[in-house]
Amino acid sequence: MRILWVNPVGTPDHDAGIAALLRQTKSAETLAEVVSLVPGVVPEHLEYDSFEAMAVPEVVRLSRQASAEGWDAMIIGCFYDTAVTAAREVSGRMIVLGPCLAGLQTAAHLAARCSIIATRPKAAGHIARVVRGHGADHMVASIRTLDILTSDLVRDPGLTARRIEEEARAAVENDGAEAILLGCTLEHGAQDEIQDRIGVPVIDAVRAPFRMAEHLCGLAALGWSPGRIGAGLAPDDDELGMTGCFGAAAIGNRIEVR
Amino acid sequence: MRILWVNPVGTPDHDAGIAALLRQTKSAETLAEVVSLVPGVVPEHLEYDSFEAMAVPEVVRLSRQASAEGWDAMIIGCFYDTAVTAAREVSGRMIVLGPCLAGLQTAAHLAARCSIIATRPKAAGHIARVVRGHGADHMVASIRTLDILTSDLVRDPGLTARRIEEEARAAVENDGAEAILLGCTLEHGAQDEIQDRIGVPVIDAVRAPFRMAEHLCGLAALGWSPGRIGAGLAPDDDELGMTGCFGAAAIGNRIEVR
Amino acid sequence: MRILWVNPVGTPDHDAGIAALLRQTKSAETLAEVVSLVPGVVPEHLEYDSFEAMAVPEVVRLSRQASAEGWDAMIIGCFYDTAVTAAREVSGRMIVLGPCLAGLQTAAHLAARCSIIATRPKAAGHIARVVRGHGADHMVASIRTLDILTSDLVRDPGLTARRIEEEARAAVENDGAEAILLGCTLEHGAQDEIQDRIGVPVIDAVRAPFRMAEHLCGLAALGWSPGRIGAGLAPDDDELGMTGCFGAAAIGNRIEVR
Amino acid sequence: MRILWVNPVGTPDHDAGIAALLRQTKSAETLAEVVSLVPGVVPEHLEYDSFEAMAVPEVVRLSRQASAEGWDAMIIGCFYDTAVTAAREVSGRMIVLGPCLAGLQTAAHLAARCSIIATRPKAAGHIARVVRGHGADHMVASIRTLDILTSDLVRDPGLTARRIEEEARAAVENDGAEAILLGCTLEHGAQDEIQDRIGVPVIDAVRAPFRMAEHLCGLAALGWSPGRIGAGLAPDDDELGMTGCFGAAAIGNRIEVR
Amino acid sequence: MRILWVNPVGTPDHDAGIAALLRQTKSAETLAEVVSLVPGVVPEHLEYDSFEAMAVPEVVRLSRQASAEGWDAMIIGCFYDTAVTAAREVSGRMIVLGPCLAGLQTAAHLAARCSIIATRPKAAGHIARVVRGHGADHMVASIRTLDILTSDLVRDPGLTARRIEEEARAAVENDGAEAILLGCTLEHGAQDEIQDRIGVPVIDAVRAPFRMAEHLCGLAALGWSPGRIGAGLAPDDDELGMTGCFGAAAIGNRIEVR
Amino acid sequence: MRILWVNPVGTPDHDAGIAALLRQTKSAETLAEVVSLVPGVVPEHLEYDSFEAMAVPEVVRLSRQASAEGWDAMIIGCFYDTAVTAAREVSGRMIVLGPCLAGLQTAAHLAARCSIIATRPKAAGHIARVVRGHGADHMVASIRTLDILTSDLVRDPGLTARRIEEEARAAVENDGAEAILLGCTLEHGAQDEIQDRIGVPVIDAVRAPFRMAEHLCGLAALGWSPGRIGAGLAPDDDELGMTGCFGAAAIGNRIEVR
């Protein structure tokens, strides 16, 4: 199985961290690759809606390209599930998914209600819209915030872990959360310890979608690839080519994960 | 991985068919078992709500027992997701799931809207309630019916396949369905051919939850087992034992699937 | 009018208390009976989902049997409205109902929003799902908990009453409740005093469904018995008999209420 | 028990018909009265929103007055549940209700889904808003129309009955209705025969709220009168008197029903 | 453009204040008029539902009359959007609107979520129903209350302003509000200063609907006047005349605003 | 007032048509400009999600640039309301809006329910998601399709007009629509005639948002510019500059509209 993890940001800074986490997460036969995008084309983080916007066409181009290269799945590594619908449209038989839906689906088997730990109110508001779009309002007890900027999350991992634990505990004690969903792919690292200390599942935004991707890839053998009518109807190659807009995606960095 | 498939009906008639399908579906290292319940304790099908009711405690007892025996997951093989919440409560670290949620989650990655092919209006109404409970109204284009009684589905497989294809095609052409969800575990058999002829994914109610179960079992290594507070809070063993109600489940038949 | 109150638990401990309350509640011409189920078949309380599961087939069998014996209505005395849909299916012209829907319907005529006082978070979560299923989210201001185990409610009635009053008052003062719904049939006893002291209607989970049952029985004379198509379609007697599952319900105790 | 039925229209034409129906419907000890309003103050029917508007203050004044006169309940006899909230505000301990909520609540015990038979599209649209306000969208299979003007319903009872039967049958056969709710108080008369011929409960808009009123009146003995905080908070008598707006309601006709 | 502002209350006390505010708000070419209703026909404020009821027919009559007199729009100056639907029915090509919908629509362009500052819990509950009817639950962060009676708002403007600011600030800091909607037409006066100090848009309930009315009037030139089928179908003049209910509205006071 | 209309497509083909329509639509003092984007950067139409994706960053860059240049409002001329939230984030005090929300808001004052006429099922599905996001499900009677590709709409205007009329009429007659919303900015041209022939308001996707923009610009004088906290919080200029992603937008064509 070949799965492409996209850090849809214009910095290679987080690639090694994600790659290390995927190495511990993936099954032996999966070949993964972590890519990030080019600085100046896409910002270093996507917390702002305007920053996320810059990543949208790159992600779509990458999806088409990855599909052509024979990848089985591509994960768009932002909890906003950035451009998943558009990327899926031109992904042929490749699976495209994002952390928010994958996390919510995982949580649905483990708990009646979960809380999401977002970075800042900015992100929390955006996530609320994504959750509502997925029809999952009834299973989200609360969206809490760390009040740490996305790009600062990895600067002081101890602080990040401490704050996640504080908010997770508050979610369990006050909001009725029975599981925790980490609301940013950069909140990884201390998930295990926090989970042990709090005693409820803490689902992180990297492993959950990656494992879901492995699972979904396996379904291709049953013929379950994305439908290609209605929302899934793709422009034909001629039409798409004539736009001149679907050149190579601007990949800035690549790490193979074996 | 050890996964238990429960046909929550009081007949062994469908066990071999399901086992054969699982054999084609499971990954090599998974050990599965198909069990069905005892006639006279549980009816031969669960299409009626009153028939489903008979299966409820057996399914719960079986869940507890399976968890104690070390199964990694148990699938309750009825599209009503019969007693999943109650069974999950006493399942310790074992995963418990049903076909409806698993099918909807699978479809969510393949299409914007899907239609469910139920057996009869009776079942369609029940399924509508289950779908609404899962927050998935927005992704179900329609629930169509074969007007074939559950227990007759396997009697004339040709007719069943023909009717499924007719309704699936109508769902795609008239209702805006972009994928099809087979709404009964006994609608299996012709899924591949129908899928090929119609050209949209046809997700069956046996393979989809089984594969999802394999996937979820794999997550236990990350510590993602069912949460045990709130809805997941289980009675302690003393309290449970004192009820005298949690004896051995009435298993009527067993088939190992290797 | 003949109305059967079912304590769907495997203990006779609460029958006398409920019977006494019904005696004060019923109209002169109503003949009621309180029954409870057999220990070892059903647990002493249903707060856990797995405990409730044990009661499900008994309640359904009892419904069929009661209908055959000519009862006009049967009330399933658990605020989860346990198995009402399934029991109604085989109840012929008999009415079947539960406290949650009856209480919400009563409250709808008395207040814009009410709060439900549940026993523990466990029960609150379950009740939230039932309320959502009834389409009543908009009229429930909050679900508060006593943090007293169901089976302890009657042990120290003074404490129970005090806690109910505290939470009811908080619901009125902080949550915008204009009426209170007692969220367990065992929270009865002090309803009158609390109501007087708080100054809003406090609707209890025994009297409300009982009176509603008397009301609904009266409608049979207008031909308004449960519909028997769609969700209401019942298996025919042959089909039902052939299952061998619909023997006599395991009634453990009976008290006539005249 | 003393129950006031208000035909909130400026014509006495329907009073005798309603009174006759109530006579067959009420319990022996209930004393009922049918009143209608004054022509020129209120139109002859309320199908238009602007016509209904004229009835609003009269209904509210009548509610206050009826409460002062010691009536136990007042029914506002229009399926739009005209001014129920406002009338309830000044009704002291008297119960105020309308046919739509009462009908939906009755249907909820008899069927999973019902269809409403409205007079014309105009009314159907209005009723849809009322149903949505009651949180009952999930239980209404369809709102069908007779395409007969409200005031013509009683002119040719045979035609009305025939059309009701046609639409009711279509609702059952095509829309999944398991019960029928008559969507206008003037659709009465043939309910029994239609019900017999169609085989599902046909709930009429006169008897259902009347019986519900009798039921709710009975609850006053338990202290369950309308709450008087929040939405139920009433202006005090001084404040109300100073407005000069709460004079006698313009009652045009009265029929006692014993 | 000619726009009629209706203070649907039976006092001229607020007309001058509103007129002054409109003078600052309207575009040069708009001719506005502020009218209020007659004491003894309509109360001095509409905070109670029963008080609001008194205004309903007057507002509808006024709508018809204003339409006949050639007004381009009529604003019903109560945040409950009192009788807008009924008034619109008989308004011909005239636009009819209320502050709540206008305010919500304005806010939708300025912020993801806003909070409404109501007068008292009574009003807050009513407003919650109106918001839900407009499908705007997802954009209202909270409804907070001043705990000042409507008619007292203008008595101590300093206190009113101070309380508005306190609650607005709390809404921003605690509830996630990104804009404020003043929930009563009498909360005007200090909007500018509060807006400046708090730093988020504070949308008042007078200017917002007035400007929206000017905007909507301009659309008439494009042929966009109220639709006249379905909900918009009006009684024909004969039918309406025969009711005898649509005489002159009871206007108590008039102020021209040039 | 200075309003920028963006045709977010990589072709100047539709600019003159839109400009002509705006010339007839705008008020005398408004200065408008129609711009389109660069071929090869953005496709010729956005009907596919992947095509729309290409326009996203250009629209956002344009929004920031337009705000800096002192435009009062910018309209993103695609019925998907493409990137409105992201563009609004960096728009300072400038208003940003799209046709779908503007059209729904306009319709809300003219009719209880409207139907949207989309181009193809592809677009209809996308529009359904946008409508649901705006909380407007309850006011949309249906989304019908012309089955004409977006870019073909202007090729045979007679056919387009005929098809719009057919579907609009069907929406009114069968779906309960009381107004029509044209679901693509290129469906303009015949709106007036269709409106006259059908007799309900036909709201087009160019004029409606343009007029709404004029209206909203006028509100800036009241201090009602987009809020800048929560969802509206913008990256500061330093942070934004450092990304290197917010260079000049790729404007391909410009037409001034005076």
Residues of D in contact with B118 (CB under 8 A): none
Buried b or exposed e, range E80-103, using 16+ CB within 10 angstroms: bbbbbbbbbbbbbebbbbbbbbbb
Residues of B in contact with C126 (CB under 8 A): 231
Determine which of C52, C134, C239, C243 to mutate to test the interface with B (most B C-beta atoms within 10 Å). C243
Of the three residues E205, E221, E246, the one that is the final residue of a domain is E205
In chain D, the number of structural domains is 2
Same domain, D109 and D188: yes
Question: Nearest residue of F to residue A125 by CA position?
Answer: F231
* Residue ranges making up the domain that contains A154: 100-205
Question: Nearest residue of A to residue F243 by CA position?
Answer: A43
Nearest CA to CA, how far is F165 from chain A (Å)?
24
Q: What is the dihedral of CA B244, B245, B247, B251, to 10 degrees?
A: 160
Question: Is A245 within 8 Å of F10 when comparing Cβ atoms?
Answer: yes
Residue whose token pair is 């729309």 = F52
Question: Is B126 within 8 Å of C42 when comparing Cβ atoms?
Answer: no
Same domain, D35 and D13: yes
- B130 token code pair: 């289950």
pLDDT < 50: residue spans in chain F: none
Nearest CA to CA, how far is A172 from chain B (Å)?
9
Same domain, A91 and A214: yes
Nearest CA to CA, how far is A202 from chain C (Å)?
20
End-to-end CA distance of chain A: 11
Question: Nearest residue of A to residue B21 by CA position?
Answer: A222
pLDDT tens for each residue of C206-217: 999 999 999 999
Facing E176 at nearest CB: one of A121, A129, A132: A121
Question: Is C39 within 8 Å of B230 when comparing Cβ atoms?
Answer: no
**What does the pLDDT read at residue C151?**
81
Q: Which residues pair with E75 in a beta bridge?
A: E5, E97
Does residue C164 register a pLDDT over 90? yes
Does residue D114 register a pLDDT over 90? yes
Facing F176 at nearest CB: one of D121, D129, D132: D121
pLDDT tens for each residue of D116-154: 999 999 999 999 999 999 999 999 999 999 999 888 898
- DSSP output for D106-171: HHHTT-S-EEEEESSHHHHHHHHHHHHHTT-GGGEEEEEE----GGGTTTSHHHHHHHHHHHHHHI
| Chains touching D by CB (3 or more pairs below 8 Å) | B, C, E, F
Does residue C189 register a pLDDT over 90? no
Average pLDDT, integer, range E76-87:
98
Is B70 at the interface with chain D, CB within 8 A? Answer: no
pLDDT < 70: residue spans in chain A: none
Quote the Cα angle for B51-B54-B55, to 5°.
100
**Four-residue CA torsion sign, B5, A25, B69, A113:** negative
Does residue C231 register a pLDDT over 90? no
Average pLDDT, integer, range C11-39:
96
Residue whose token pair is 């004079």 = D247
The closest alpha carbon to D4, from D101, D53, D54, D77, belongs to D77
Average pLDDT, integer, range B21-37:
96
Same domain, B222 and B236: yes
Residues of A in contact with B216 (CB under 8 A): 106, 109
Nearest CA to CA, how far is C3 from chain B (Å)?
21
Question: Nearest residue of C to residue B55 by CA position?
Answer: C57
Question: Nearest residue of F to residue A44 by CA position?
Answer: F243
Same domain, D40 and D165: no
Residues of A in contact with E113 (CB under 8 A): 125
Distance CA A9, CA A13 (A): 9
Nearest CA to CA, how far is D235 from chain E (Å)?
7
**What does the pLDDT read at residue A150?**
87
Same domain, F197 and F110: yes
DSSP B150: G
**What does the pLDDT read at residue A149?**
87
- Evaluate whether ipTM surpasses 0.90: yes
Residue whose token pair is 């088997």 = A109
**What does the pLDDT read at residue E231?**
85
Nearest CA to CA, how far is C121 from chain A (Å)?
8
Question: Is C122 within 8 Å of B57 when comparing Cβ atoms?
Answer: no
**What does the pLDDT read at residue A151?**
81
Does residue C74 register a pLDDT over 90? yes
Same domain, A10 and A92: yes
CB D175 within 8 A of CB D142: yes
Confidence of residue B189 (pLDDT cuts 50, 70, 90): confident
Q: pLDDT over 90 for what percent of chain E?
A: 93
Residues of A in contact with F64 (CB under 8 A): 50
Confidence of residue D231 (pLDDT cuts 50, 70, 90): confident
Does residue B32 register a pLDDT over 90? yes
- A210 token code pair: 């990656």
Distance CA B104, CA A101 (A): 12
- D240 token code pair: 């109300």
* 3-state SS, one letter per residue, for chain E: CEEEEEECCCCCCCHHHHHHHHHHHCCCCCEEEEEEECECCECCCCCCHHHHHHHHHHHHHHHHHHHHCCCCEEEECCCCCCCHHHHHHCCCCCEEECHHHHHHHHHHCCCCCEEEEECCHHHHHHHHHHHHHCCCHHHEEEEEECCCCHHHCCCCHHHHHHHHHHHHHHHHHHHCCCEEEECCHHHCCCHHHHHHHHCCCEECCCHHHHHHHHHHHHHHHHCCCCCCCHHHCCCCHHHHHHHCCCCCCCEEEEEEEC
B28: which residues sit within 8 A by CB, 6+ positions away? none
Compute the mean pLDDT over every residue in chain D, rounded to the nearest whole number. 96
Same domain, C186 and C149: yes
Q: Identify the helix (H) or strand (E) that includes residue A121.
A: helix A121-133
**What does the pLDDT read at residue D42?**
97
Instruction: Please state the pTM of the whole predicted model.
Output: 0.96
Local structure of F88: helix, strand or coil: helix
Interface of C with B in 182-211 (CB under 8 A): none
Same domain, D62 and D77: yes
Compute the mean pLDDT over every residue in chain E, rounded to the nearest whole number. 96
F63: which residues sit within 8 A by CB, 6+ positions away? F74, F87, F88, F90, F91, F94, F96
The closest alpha carbon to F15, from F188, F162, F182, belongs to F188
Question: Nearest residue of A to residue C120 by CA position?
Answer: A176
**Four-residue CA torsion sign, C24, C25, C28, C34:** negative
Give me the amino acid identity at E172.
Answer: V
Is B175 at the interface with chain F, CB within 8 A? Answer: no
- DSSP output for C187-251: G-SSHHHHHHHH-S-EE-TTHHHHHHHHHHHHHGGGT-----SGGGPPPPHHHHHHHT------E
F133: which residues sit within 8 A by CB, 6+ positions away? A129, A132, A133
CB B210 within 8 A of CB B75: yes
D202: which residues sit within 8 A by CB, 6+ positions away? C223, D168, D179, D180, D182, D191, D194, D195
Q: If you average pLDDT over each of B169-173, D148-152, D191-195, which comes out highest?
A: B169-173
Read off the CATH number of the domain in which C191 is found.
Answer: 3.40.50.12500
End-to-end CA distance of chain F: 11
Distance CA F50, CA E31 (A): 49
Q: How many CB atoms lie within 10 A of CB B242?
A: 14
How far CA E41 is from CA of D252, E11, E38, in Å, comes to 20, 10, 6
**What does the pLDDT read at residue B191?**
87
Quote the Cα angle for F222-F226-F228, to 5°.
120
A70: which residues sit within 8 A by CB, 6+ positions away? A2
Q: Which residues pair with B116 in a beta bridge?
A: B143, B181
Confidence of residue C11 (pLDDT cuts 50, 70, 90): very high
pLDDT tens for each residue of E136-193: 999 999 999 999 988 889 889 999 999 999 999 999 999 999 999 999 999 987 888 9
Same domain, F104 and F186: yes
Of the three residues D205, D221, D237, the one that is the final residue of a domain is D205
Q: Identify the helix (H) or strand (E) that includes residue C2.
A: strand C2-7
- A63 token code pair: 């999806």
Does residue B111 register a pLDDT over 90? yes
**What does the pLDDT read at residue F46?**
96
Give me the amino acid identity at E4.
Answer: L
DSSP B205: T
Same domain, D133 and D160: yes
Q: How many CB atoms lie within 10 A of CB C251?
A: 16
Same domain, C198 and C240: no
